[in-house]
Amino acid sequence: VRAILHVDLDAFFVAVELLRRPELRGKPVVVGGRGDPRTRGVVSSASYEARGFGVKAGMPLRRVARMCPEAVFLPVDFSAIRPMSERFHALLRSVSPLVESWGLDEAFVEVTALERPAAEVAAEIQRRVRDELGLACSVGWSTNKLLAKIASDLAKPGGIRGVTMDDVPAVVWPLKPTALVGIGPKTAQRLAPLGITTVGDLARADPTALEGALGARWAAWLQRSARGLDESPINNEPWERRSLSLEHTFDVDVGDADALRAKLREMAGEVAAHLREEGFLAQTVAVKVRLSNFDTYQRQKKLAAPSADADVLFAAALACFERVELSRKVRLLGLRASGLVAS
DNA sequence: TCTGGGGTCCTAGGACCC
DNA sequence: TCTGGGGTCCTAGGACCC
C-alpha cells in the first residue's frame, strides 16, 4: 500500500511578502493584480485575517476594497515567489525523489519507500518548511493522491491530516462534489439535477444515469473518485512548456480597432521575446478576445514555418483577430504561442 | 456591480490522404 | 464513377487547475 503526501503552502503569495514586510503580520493582506484595487485585477492570495472579512481567491480587488477597507494590497511579484517555490520543491525532493509539482505552492510526495509512518514524515516536512523557508504549510496523507489532496484541504491552515480508505464514507462523502479534483462548478451544475449534491450521492448514483449525463468514460472515472479510488502515479518528470501566452484586461473596455491592433503588436513582440529567451519556436498562434459582455472567442492559425519572430507572430495574430466579429467593446486580449519546438 | 493571468487536457467535426 | 474505412491534422470550444 502506498504512502502519499500532499503538501500545500498556506497563503503562499502573502507569506512570501510577509517575510520581507514583517510589520504587516496580523493584518488583512491581499496579493493580486497590480496591487491597486482601482485597477482591474483579482485576489491571488489573501491572509487569513483578510479571509475573516470574506475575502477569497479570485475575487475582484475592487470588491475586496469595499468589503475590507483596511486591507493592505500588494502586487504579485513572481521574482520573489518563483525562487521560494523552487526552494520548496527542492526541500521536498530531499525527502523523496518522487515529487509531483502541482502549481507553485503544492506538491505530491510519495514516501512509500521510506517505510516510515506518513504522519511522521508529514510532521518533519512541516517543521523543515517552517525552519528552513519561514513558511507555514498544511499536509495531507493517504494511500493515493486523490485522498491526500482532500486531506490537506481538511488540514488547512497549518495542520496535518490523514484520510484513509476507511474514512471515505464518514469524511469524504459529506463533501460537495467540487471537493474532487476534476469537478468544477459546471460539472456540479450538471450533477445537481440528478440529485447529486455530495460526493456520497455521486458514489451511490446509478451508473447508467450518470453515463447518460456525462458519457461513459467520465462517469466511470468520477464514480471511482467518489469511492476514494485512484491509482494515478506520481509524475516526477520535469515540467515541459507546451505553450506560452500573454493576456491583458483593459482597465476600460476598448472599441477602437487601431488601438487593439497596436496592443496586439506589442503583445506579439513580448511573446516572441519570451520564446527566444526560452529557446523556442512556435508553430501555432492563437488570439483570445473577450468582449465587454464576457463572450469569449479564440481563433488560431498554424504558421507556415516555426518562428519566434515578432512580425511573423503579429501577422498571424492579426489574421486571427480579424476573424472575430467585434459586436461590442473589447475587455481582454490574449495571445498564445503553442506547438513549441526547440530553436 | 460583475469575473486576472498563467497554464493543461479532452472532445468533436471537417479536411485530407491512403 | 462510386464506395468504404482508418488515421492524422487542424480548428474551435469547453472545462479544469492554481
Please report, rounded to whole angstroms, the spatial distance between the CA atom of protein residue A32 and the C1' atom of nucleotide B2.
17
Residues of A labelled as active-site residues: 106
Q: Which amino acid is at A242?
A: R
Could you identify the residue written with the cell 495542520?
A159
When pLDDT is cut at 50, 70 and 90, the band that residue A213 belongs to is confident
Residue-level pLDDT at A216: 86
In this model, does residue A282 exceed pLDDT 90? Answer: yes
Summarised one tens digit per residue, pLDDT across range A311-320 is 999 999 999 9
Across the range A15-39, mean pLDDT stands at 96
Summarised one tens digit per residue, pLDDT across range A92-117 is 999 999 999 999 999 999 999 999 99
According to DSSP, residue A42 is labeled: B
In this model, does residue A11 exceed pLDDT 90? Answer: yes
Strand C contact at CB of residue A297, distance < 7 A: yes
Strand C contact at CB of residue A242, distance < 7 A: no
Within residues 31-90 of protein chain A, the ones with CB less than 7 A from nucleic strand C are: none
What is the number of alpha carbons within 13 Å of residue A193 lying toward its C-beta?
9
Strand B contact at CB of residue A242, distance < 7 A: yes
In this model, does residue A172 exceed pLDDT 90? Answer: yes
Instruction: Pick the closest to residue A98 from A87, A86, A113 (CA basis).
Output: A113
CA nearest to nucleotide B5 C1': residue: A247
Cα separation of A93 and A101, whole Å?
10
Cα separation of A13 and A75, whole Å?
10
Cα separation of A42 and A276, whole Å?
30
SS3 A313: helix
Summarised one tens digit per residue, pLDDT across range A137-164 is 999 999 999 999 999 999 999 999 999 9
Chain centroid, CA A312 distance in Å: 31
Percent residues over pLDDT 70 in chain A: 100
Cα separation of A262 and A254, whole Å?
12
Strand B contact at CB of residue A42, distance < 7 A: yes
Nucleotide showing the shortest C1' distance to residue A334 CA:
B5
C-alpha distances (whole Å) from A75 to each of A13, A39, A71, A80 are 10, 11, 13, 11
Please report, rounded to whole angstroms, the spatial distance between the CA atom of protein residue A295 and the C1' atom of nucleotide C9.
28
Q: Which nucleotides of B are covered by protein (CB under 7 A)?
A: 1-12
Q: What is the pTM of this model?
A: 0.94
Percent residues over pLDDT 90 in chain A: 96
What is the number of alpha carbons within 13 Å of residue A45 lying toward its C-beta?
20
Residue-level pLDDT at A215: 86
How deeply is A276 buried, as exposed, middle or buried, from its count of CB atoms within 10 A (0-12, 13-18, 19+)? middle
In this model, does residue A217 exceed pLDDT 90? Answer: no
- Residue A199 sits at the vertex; the CA angle it makes with A195 and A200, to the nearest 5 degrees, is 75
Residue-level pLDDT at A296: 93
Q: Phi and psi dihedrals of A237, rounded to 5?
A: -60, 140
Residue-level pLDDT at A312: 95
Within residues 161-190 of protein chain A, the ones with CB less than 7 A from nucleic strand B are: none
Longest dimension (CA), chain A: 64
Quote the mean pLDDT of chain A.
95
Residue-level pLDDT at A122: 98
According to DSSP, residue A24 is labeled: G
CA nearest to nucleotide B1 C1': residue: A63
Across the range A59-85, mean pLDDT stands at 95
C-alpha distances (whole Å) from A266 to each of A125, A242, A273, A307 are 44, 22, 11, 17
Nucleotide showing the shortest C1' distance to residue A177 CA:
C16
Cα separation of A191 and A286, whole Å?
33
